[in-house]
Structure 1
Amino acid sequence: MSHKSKLEKHLGFLTDLGEFRFKRWLDANAYKFLMDVGVGVGQKVLDVGCGSGTYTIPAAKIVGESGIVYALDTSRQVLDRMEERAAREELRNVVRVDGGEIDDRFEGSSIDHVLLIDVLQEIRDRGAMFDGIYRVLKPGGSVIVYPMHMAAEDVIEIALKKPFSRVEKKFGGRILVFRKTRVDEPDT
């Protein structure tokens, strides 16, 4: 192994370490993060791959009683834990959604924000996922992505093949925010 390869390997480890530190910070500061990316009172949020509710619970607190957070995950066990957390916090605006697809259970053009926090690497058909997201987002709605285990450029390429515009990179470029750019015909 050459010296350059050893150095590249070492730097890759440091990059990974930095991402893990950022993810830990993001998890610990989910409320602030969600406020910073535009989640607000009365909105509807879809948390894809919600897990035990790291972002679902703070989002539900932010949107308040007049808003709704849909918590989507393929694991019943983590959804059970998320529901227990929501019940402990007395949050009645969290809706459990079993499964991994954005399908007809969601009304078209009804969601203000979709969260994809460290989950895209688990999704087989990312293009279909972005199609579903586009269908359910309100005009001007946002997709908030933290691609911890994917290259940001790959996510940008997938999203921009759909009718999304990249609004900005936040938190040192680690968070990508895309917006729905055009209004479709009403769903029938």
Structure 2
Amino acid sequence: MLQSDQACCTVKETVREKYDAIARGERDCGCRMVDEFAYQDTPGYQVEADLGLGCGTPVDYADLKPGETVLDLGSGAGLDAMIAVPLVGKKGKVLGVDLAPSMVAKAKENAIAVEMDNTFFQEGDIEELPIQDASIDVVISNCTLNLVPDKEKAYSEIARVLRPGGRFIISDVVTVGNPDPGLIRKAEEAAGCVAGAAEKDAYLELIAQAGFTEPEVVRFRPLEIINKQDGLASLTIRARRQSQDL
């Protein structure tokens, strides 16, 4: 167990250092797995917040309502959170949690620059969210859960913070079939944000085991990072927390 915990800490530290460097402009992720500026015509879009780190557009499928409280996991420089703000309106609020302190600082700067005063960003670990139980209506995330070492714990935390009947909409990277491990390693080297991707069917089973209902894959697109045989895909899925504990 100690060895496993140490490995998780090493992964998290690597992720933190990498995304801190990206936030400071010291390196490029090389991801850009969705069409460039996919949100660019959407209210709330800020070019300064778009660092090309996403693999989908989860807010497009979130059906956000005025007054809702939204939590963005791995909020980065604030792109998805800021897209969510106009949809929840002044009576709603958007919280962002990110492991990298430089990303949190950048997101805060971006929100202040456009006077989004109902958007709040803080440093935190998705496996131990600094969020109260049953306080969130909607959880969104964009190309982040694949980077989390303990995905089972992450989805348990999502269930904990969601209100009964609350929902999540998550875009993530998964593997499909039996991809060549060598190609996966090369893809990770070319675009580090694909690291830790789980197999698609196992990923969906994990969500079901976490107690979520009404799972629906709303978008699925094969990715080509090295070539068409990468065995990687972008998946956007939504599901609900049970209305009451069974």
Q: Percent identity?
A: 22
Match of 1:51 in 2: 76
AA aligned to 1:183 is: Q
Deviations 1:111-141 (A, max 9, x none): 1111121001210111111111101111221
Answer yes or no: is the 8 Å Cα contact 2:136–2:162 preserved in 1. Answer: yes
Match of 2:236 in 1: 175
Q: Which has the higher contact order (CA 8 A, sep 6+)?
A: 2
CA distance in structure 2 between the partners assigned to 1:128 and 1:33 by the alignment: 21
Matches within 5 A, 1:1-188: 20-22=32-34, 24=36, 26-28=38-40, 34-101=59-126, 103=128, 105-148=130-173, 149=194, 150=197, 151-172=199-220, 174-184=235-245
Deviation at 1:20, TM superposition (A): 4.9
CA distance in structure 2 between the partners assigned to 1:29 and 1:118 by the alignment: 21
**TM-score relative to the length of structure 1:** 0.77
AA aligned to 2:219 is: F
Deviation at 1:89, TM superposition (A): 1.3
Residue segments in structure 1 that go unaligned for 5+ positions in a row:
1-18
CA distance in structure 1 between the partners assigned to 2:40 and 2:219 by the alignment: 14
Query: What's the RMSD between the two structures over aligned residues?
Result: 2.5
Answer yes or no: is the 8 Å Cα contact 2:98–2:125 preserved in 1. Answer: yes
Q: How many residues align?
A: 167
Extract structure 1 runs of 4+ deviating beyond 6 A: none
Deviation at 1:29, TM superposition (A): 6.1
Answer yes or no: is the 8 Å Cα contact 1:160–1:166 preserved in 2. Answer: no
CA distance in structure 2 between the partners assigned to 1:64 and 1:74 by the alignment: 27
SS of 2:59's equivalent in the other structure is: helix
Answer yes or no: is the 8 Å Cα contact 2:219–2:237 preserved in 1. Answer: no
